Every structure is written in C-alpha cells, then in structure tokens.
Amino acid sequence: MNRNDEYLELKREMDELSAPGESVARAMARQQREKREKREKWGRFFLKPLGGLAAACALFVLLVNLSPAVARACKGIPLLGDLAEAVRFYRSLSEAVEHEYYQKVNQQQTIDGVTVSVDYLIADKKGVTILYHICEAADLNLEDLELVPDLCLPEVDYTSECLRGTYGTEQSGGSFRIYFDEDQTPQSLPLKLDLYVEDKSIPQVSDPDVNPRIGTESEPLSTFTFTLEVDQDFIVQGRHYEVDQIMEMDGQKIHITGIDIYPSFTSFTIEEEAGNTAWLTWLDYYLLTEDGTRYEPNSGLFAMSDEVGTMDYLAESVFFSSAEKLTLYVTGACWLSKDKDPETTQRFLRSWGYSQNDNSQYDVPITVEFDLKK
C-alpha cells in the first residue's frame, strides 16, 4: 500500500468515527461543580463567620438586609401612582423605569383579611428587584405591620437586600433586590413574604439596626407566597467587557479585570495582586462617562465577593447611557495589613468594610478609563 492509499484508508477510518458524546454535559457539570467547590471553599473561610448570609460576602453602604428592623425602614413611604417616581431614590431603577424596562406582576393574595400585592419586577442577567405592598389589612393597623421578604430557593445561591424607602404607601410596602450569579436569574421565582406585627409595648432602642419590637425569632402572623414568572427578554439583559488594567495605590496593586453593565447596576471586578502587603477593605469611587455624567456607588449593597482577593464593586447603571468611554475615579481606599494578628484579620473577615486602619484619601483621584465600544 503506498502512502496515498494509506491516507485514503486512514481518512475513511477517521470519517467513520464519532465522538463518545456527552462532552457538553460533562463540561456543564464540571462548571457547576467547580463553582460549588469554590463557594464551599470560600464559605469555610468567609461565610461561616457571617452566619446566615446564603451566598456571597457583601458590603453595604447603608445597613440594608433582611432583618425586620431594616425591612421596617422600607415602609411608610407614600405610594406614588407613578412607578418611576416610586423608585426615585435609586437612580438605576428609576432610569430602568423611565425606559419602560420593568415587568408588571399584579398578583394579590389575601390571608385573614390582609391583602398583599406584588406589583412589579425589574430583572436582568444578574438579579431581580421585586416591588410589593400591603393593600389592606382588615382590623390591623397598617403602621404596625411589616413584610419580610425571602426566596424559597434553597438550591440557589443569592445575595439580597431590602431597598430603603423605594416603594410603599401609608400602608406597608417595600422593595426586595436579589443578586444571583451571572446568568443564574431563574425564570420562576418563589417569593415568600412573612407578615409581622410590631409589639409597641417593647421599648424602642436607639440602634437603628436593632428593632426588638419585631425579632426574627418571633413567628410571623402569616406567610404570603407568590410564584413570579420573569420574562425571558429581561433576564438576558446585560453586557460584559473584558478589561485588563492595573491601578497602584498606597504601594498596593489592584487589577481590574472586567466591567459588567446591567440595567439595574454597573459592576467592575477587582483582583488584588498576590504580592500586596495589605487587603483592600474599602474603596471610595465613582464612574464618569465622556459627557461628564457621574455615576455613584450603589446605594445599599455596593460590593460582593465569593473569592479571597477578588471583589465586584457596584455602581449606578450606565446601561441606558450611550457612553463609549467610562472612567473609574478612585478617591480613597482602606487597607488591612496582611501581617495583622489573626484576631484582627478574623474581625475583618467577619465584617467586610472593616476600614478603620490604613485609610487613604487621594487629593487627586486615581483614574482608569475603559472603552465600551469593543
């Protein structure tokens, strides 16, 4: 057999071969497994001390979480017929609504004379904001009522917050924001709203984070459950930009590796250089587009992480802007020396945003520009 015959024979043999199959399924399973292992590994280091946060570590500008005390702050805001006005405290949501980027839900449920309505959703690739309120409460005083939201999704990791003062009426209402891993926003959201009644016989305390009148240990008066279907068109919205920029501050280097622009927020990913002598514990920053429009850090939750030395910082959304250039201005940073004693380091690990030491403010902001045309 000459070489050409040998080639034809080998070619025929090859053409008859099929791949063993299921490579895609195995790749997807591997990706899920690695994500889970990463979370579990990180969880041992970071999440256990936080005690109860389901998914990622989270930094908050305002203390907003699921505690009844904070949920309480979500009520008492006059319901404005215009949704855009109702979300006016949150620029990203407000702009989304201005662009008619929201989904009407209009689901109601009545238990023992109390009617709760879930009114709107604002969803994208990375999360969902749910707006709800109590419509009527029979013989109960609306001012004494409080709705505490949560999702019934034990298998899905998410971080959540109640948005302060975004939605409500004289009656109790509020907004619940959930952040999922990218592309993990479920199409079907099982929402639970626990209704609590405030016990005014218990004295109020000055600490705004503690409301002994309603404790999480108390039983809810009733629990409202809704299944919300999120429109597929919304949960695919968001843009990712790979970037590769190094910033040097206070002798430490941080690497900006990505920008994500979603309808409800913008985020940029920072990876700290392994050779740094300190952990980055806080960052003061804002974003500026080429037309001079300034975008502030997110109100409420402003940073999330599920990996040591990597953090996604959140800012107001530029999704609806036509910006082609985006500049990050860093005006300050806080560091925790890596040679601190274990107790101090643990304290940092237990409370993201621990920033009392090594605080720097920059007279001239450190800037880095990103090209959004690519």
Partner 1 sequence: MEANEYASRVEEMQNRLFRMALLYLGSHSDAEEVLDEAVYRGLKSCKNLREPAYFETWMTRILLNACCDEYRRRKREMSFEEMPETAEEAFDALPLREAIRRLPGELKDLVILRYFSGYTLWEASEILNIPQGTAATRQRRALELLRLELE
> What residues line the site for partner 1 (CB under 8 A)?
3-4, 6-7, 10-11, 14-15, 17-21, 23-24, 26-28, 30-31, 183, 236, 240, 242
Q: How far is the CB of 22 from partner 1 (least distance, A)?
A: 9
What's at 339, amino acid-wise? D
Q: How far is the CB of 27 from partner 1 (least distance, A)?
A: 4
Euclidean distance between the first and the last CA atom of the chain, given in angstroms as a whole number = 54
Give the nearer residue to partner 1 in terms of CB position, either 8 or 111. 8
Structure-token match 């099982």, residue found: 190
Closest CA to 103 of 271, 229, 240: 229
Q: How far is the CB of 244 from partner 1 (least distance, A)?
A: 12
133: left (phi over 0), alpha (psi -120 to 50) or beta: beta
Token couple for 150 = 């949560």
Give the nearer residue to partner 1 in terms of CB position, either 59 or 235. 235
Give the nearer residue to partner 1 in terms of CB position, either 30 or 200. 30
Alpha carbons within 13 A on the beta-carbon side of 316: 21
Provide the 3-class DSSP secondary structure of residue 6: helix
In what side-by-side order are the strands of the sheet with 57-60? 57-60, 301-307, 310-315, 265-272, 252-262, 239-249
User: Cα angle vertex 169, ends 166, 175, to 5°?
Assistant: 30
Give the nearer residue to partner 1 in terms of CB position, either 4 or 322. 4
Give the nearer residue to partner 1 in terms of CB position, either 33 or 350. 33
Give the nearer residue to partner 1 in terms of CB position, either 4 or 188. 4
Return the sign of the alpha-carbon dihedral for residues 41, 47, 52, 57. Answer: negative
Q: How far is the CB of 156 from partner 1 (least distance, A)?
A: 16
Q: How far is the CB of 182 from partner 1 (least distance, A)?
A: 8
Q: Are strands 158-163 and 145-151 parallel, antiparallel or unpaired?
A: unpaired
Q: How far is the CB of 238 from partner 1 (least distance, A)?
A: 10
Q: How far is the CB of 160 from partner 1 (least distance, A)?
A: 24
Q: How far is the CB of 145 from partner 1 (least distance, A)?
A: 42
Provide the 3-class DSSP secondary structure of residue 141: coil
What's at 366, amino acid-wise? I
- The H or E element that residue 28 is part of is helix 23-42
Distance CA 229, CA 208 (A): 35
Kindly report the number of other CB atoms within 10 A of residue 362's CB atom: 14
Token couple for 307 = 């990996």
Give the nearer residue to partner 1 in terms of CB position, either 106 or 232. 232
Cβ neighbours for 340, distance < 8 A, ≥ 6 positions apart: 348
Give the nearer residue to partner 1 in terms of CB position, either 125 or 133. 125
Over its C-alpha atoms, the chain yields an Rg (Å, rounded) of 24
Give the nearer residue to partner 1 in terms of CB position, either 26 or 48. 26
Asked if 128 and 189 touch (Cβ cutoff 8 Å), the reply is yes
Q: How far is the CB of 363 from partner 1 (least distance, A)?
A: 37
